[in-house]
Amino acid sequence: MEIVSCRVGPLGVNCYLVSGNGREAAVIDPGGDASRIRRIADARGWTIRAVLLTHGHFDHTGAAEKLHKPGVRPFIGRGDAYYLNDPVASVADLLGLPFVPANADELLDDGQVLSLCGLDLIVLATPGHTPGGVCFLCENTLFSGDTLFCGSVGRTDFPEGNGGMLIDSIRQKLLPLPDDTRVLPGHGDTTTIGEEKRNNPFLQGEPLC
C-alpha cells in the first residue's frame, strides 16, 4: 500500500491518497484543494477512483464534489449522509466558513469491506464525533478521521456530538487493534494504537484492551 498525505482546506485537514496497485487511488477526506489532490495523483500516475469520507463535517468534505466525476465512487457513513447538504450540521455555518454541498452514492455500514484500488478497507463505525462517523482499517493502518488523534480525541461539542459514545467507540472498535497499528488521523500527527493506549489522557482511568 502506498500512501501520500497532504493538508488541505481552511482547517488544514489531513487528506490521504492511497493505492494498492500503483494505478488507481482512493482519496480519504478531501477537505479542499481539489486541483492539488489531482496533481498529486497525476504525478504518481494514479487515477482517482473513490472518495472516502470519515464523516460529514465540511472541513473533510469540501473537495468531495469536485472530485466526484464519472468513474469516481464517493462513500460516507450512513448516519452522516445528510451532512453533505446541510451547512448547519456540517458546522460550516457555526464557524462562518464557506459550505460546498456534496453527494455520496454509497452509504457505509459497520464491518463492510471495500475492495478498491487494489486494497481491502474495513469500515469501523465509530459514532460520537458525529452520528455516522467511521474509520477505515487497511492492513496495519487505521485512517481515524476525527475519532482518534495523537494524544487526543475528536470534539463532541458540535451539534449531535456525544462524548460518552465517542469514548465507547474508541474502546470497543479501535483499542482492540494490535498495538503497532499505525493511526493516520484527520488532524495532527501520526501515532499508533499502543501509544494512545499508554499515553492518551482521554483514554485513561479504566482498564484498556
The beta strand positions in the chain, using DSSP E, are 2-8, 13-19, 24-28, 47-53, 73-77, 106-108, 113-116, 119-125, 134-138, 141-145, 148-149, 152-153, 182-185, 191-192
Please answer whether residues 32 and 62 qualify as being in contact, where contact means their C-beta atoms are separated by less than 8 angstroms: yes
Mean per-residue pLDDT for 72-99? 95
- Helix H or strand E segment including 75: strand 73-77
**What pTM was computed for the model?**
0.95
What is the structure's pLDDT at 207? Answer: 45
Asked if 129 and 187 count as a contact pair (C-beta separation under 8 A), the reply is no
- Strand residues in 100-204 grouped as ranges (E): 106-108, 113-116, 119-125, 134-138, 141-145, 148-149, 152-153, 182-185, 191-192
Going along the chain from its start, the domains and CATH numbers come out as 2-203 (3.60.15.10)
What tens digit of pLDDT does each residue of 92-132 get? 999 999 999 999 989 999 999 999 999 999 999 999 999 99
Q: Residue 206: its pLDDT value, please?
A: 55
- pLDDT for 55-70, tens place per residue? 999 999 999 999 999 9
Per the structure block, which three cell numbers stand in for 43?
504525478
The residue-averaged pLDDT of 10-23 equals 97
- C-alpha to C-alpha distance for 192 and 195, rounded to whole angstroms: 5
- pLDDT above 80 (res 205): no
| Count of CB atoms situated within 10 Å of the CB of 204 | 10
